[in-house]
Amino acid sequence: MYAISRSGDSIEAVPEPGAPVDAVQRLFLDQVIPLLLHLSGRECLHASAVVTEHGACAFLGPAGAGKSTLAACLALRGCPLLSDDCLALAGRSPGGISVVPGHRGSRLWPDSAEALLESGGSLPPVAGNPSKRLLASRRVAGEPSPLRRIYLLTPAPPGAPAAITPANMQEAIPALLEAAFRIDQRDSELLARQFRFLMRVAAETPIRRLRYAHDFAALPALCERILEEAAT
């Protein structure tokens, strides 16, 4: 457990007796930092992202939807990784939304790791989550990148063709709110600020619904399709 002061300038770790140090550190990176960013005025989404030649492409969806797998596949194709799991957003002047670089590696389930790399089975376990494997990126983004697309991941039946379609505001806003980190559900001021910013994200960023079946063999073609769509 972590105790965070209301101002965000004081943090106290109170781990369970016997809790592994790496698990405490992972919790800090995955959960505490996004909440501190929210408290300080920056919004974060539970998402993964890469940089394409046209800007950042982010992937949102529930656990197991394939966010990290898609980002890792694109990273292996040469797109620098921006973040995995925590997507920090910032408003740009005079307009637009940008993505701030975050995690420098992808955390994958073993079947995803083995599908993407011949040596995937030998990747090291993620600290604090040994059921996943850590794929360190060879190319990572060092600077913020303008947000080009947000893809809302939706599973399709096995064998169904992938489809990328525009998401309307009624789809986009709930998906962004569900993916957002927030430190206090009762703080109406912070919630209102977050809602206004996410409304701006939805208004200024093309958001697409990406429906696809979980077929590792089809990943290269799907990545190519994403890059083509993001270029339009």
- Whether a cis peptide bond, with omega within 30° of 0, leads into 130 is no
Q: Evaluate whether residue 72 is within a structural domain.
A: yes
Return the bridge partners of 100, or none: 88
Instruction: For residue 1, tell me if it sits in a domain.
Output: no
pTM of the model: 0.87
Residue pLDDT, tens place only, 12-50: 776 777 767 666 666 666 677 777 777 777 899 999 999
Q: For residue 205, give the DSSP letter.
A: S
Q: How many domains does the chain have?
A: 1
Say how far apart CA 99 and CA 144 lie, in whole Å: 5
| pLDDT tens readout for residues 104-132 | 788 898 999 999 988 777 888 887 777 88
Domain annotation covers residue 11: no
Range of the domain at 187: 43-230
Q: Report the CATH number at residue 134.
A: 3.40.50.300
**What is the three-state SS of 18-33?**
CCCHHHHHHHHHHHHH
* The Cα angle at residue 129 between residues 134 and 137, in degrees rounded to 5: 15
Is residue 120, in this structure, part of any structural domain at all? Answer: yes
